Structure 1
């Protein structure tokens, strides 16, 4: 637990600012886009400079597809297969669906805004310079994924699974983490201080490399005591 730093006072805050590296946010500037004309997703499809508006991709197979300079707005992705897909310099707004398969996909310079998703499979995925803002994602599977320069902002993550993942320069700002699984996770410059709610179900011993607030340390005290085998009882 030596690496999970709780900060307090001006000196502590200055030390964190000097020692912790902040996440780099994506800077997505979309060019003029053409409207997607339908036809359904295709495996290994190549989508460049397109606007997808209120499309229903439920159950479709876009495995290995590449989306570059695209905007997907209000699209349904229930059980959509996007295994090993690549999203580059794109904005995904208002996606909704259950069981979306994005395993081993790549998201680079991407904004995900107001998503309403459940059971999303992102295990083994690579996320770099990604902003996830607003919305709610239930049972997010990020096992063995690699996250670098990722910001979770104003969103709700219910029972996210980070098992075996590597997080570097990741920040949680005004978001809620409920029942997070950190089993086997590796953290480097991960800032949890801005989380509105921080609940760790498993893997609290893996917080080395994270920054937490004094209040969060107090909230986590019972979990930490249980992990260390410490009994906390009032004096008789």
Structure 2
């Protein structure tokens, strides 16, 4: 019986206009930032919940404990940003590139990601619980202990990246391509991988967890 090919994630196509430098002291709740360039700024602890970022470039900015819940990033590039505990719960990212980020404990639960490219960098303890990811590509990056519990992933691709100690409890997958993951380590929810495609080698690596899940003993 023929097997239908997994549909690839569509990548964002971003052409930023000439950006004007950001001249404020910090972000504002429900602010509107259009065509702005943020570069080399310390935005730690800033409160910009509900803000909209359209055609924005954010380069080498600190985002420690930044409060950015319910923000909207559209047609924007974030490059070299770093921080711990950045709060983006309920945010919307549409046509966004996140490049070479160094982040830890990012809160993206309940967020909506559509046509997003995460390329390079390392993200620890990424919280994507109950999030919706459509046309998202993770490329050449390290995801350590990401939590996808209860999330919905459709047309999501992992390419040349590390997926370590992932939590997939009650995750819903459709056209998720894990074949390009150089390391695939599922801590919780290996039984919820239906809807994904993996290689034979990855299947062998996951076999002990799959056997344990169905109560299968392997001896000898």
The bucket for the TM-score relative to the shorter chain is over 0.9
For 1:93, the equivalent position in structure 2 comes to 79
* CA–CA distance in structure 2, aligned partners of residues 138 and 90 of structure 1: 22
For 1:137, the equivalent position in structure 2 comes to 123
Secondary structure of 2:202's aligned partner: helix
Alpha-carbon offset, residue 206 of structure 1: 0.3
TM-score by length of 2: 0.98
For 1:70, the equivalent position in structure 2 comes to 56
* CA–CA distance in structure 2, aligned partners of residues 37 and 53 of structure 1: 11
* CA–CA distance in structure 1, aligned partners of residues 100 and 82 of structure 2: 9
For 2:26, the equivalent position in structure 1 comes to 40
CA deviations on 1:130-181 (whole Å, 9 max, x unpaired) are 0000000000000000000000000000000000000000000000011000
Alpha-carbon offset, residue 20 of structure 1: 1.4
Q: How well do the aligned residues superpose, as a CA RMSD in angstroms?
A: 1.0
For 1:184, the equivalent position in structure 2 comes to 170
Higher helix share: 1
1:159 and 2:145 correspond:
yes
1:219 and 2:205 correspond:
yes
* CA–CA distance in structure 1, aligned partners of residues 85 and 187 of structure 2: 22
Point out where structure 2 has 5 or more consecutive residues left out of the alignment: none
Q: Which structure has the larger Rg over C-alpha atoms? A: 1
* CA–CA distance in structure 1, aligned partners of residues 36 and 124 of structure 2: 28
* CA–CA distance in structure 2, aligned partners of residues 40 and 189 of structure 1: 40
Aligned length: 220
* CA–CA distance in structure 2, aligned partners of residues 138 and 110 of structure 1: 20
Match of 2:188 among 202, 215, 226: 202
Point out where structure 1 has 5 or more consecutive residues left out of the alignment: 1-11
Deviating 4+ runs (over 2 angstroms): none
* CA–CA distance in structure 2, aligned partners of residues 133 and 119 of structure 1: 18
For 2:133, the equivalent position in structure 1 comes to 147
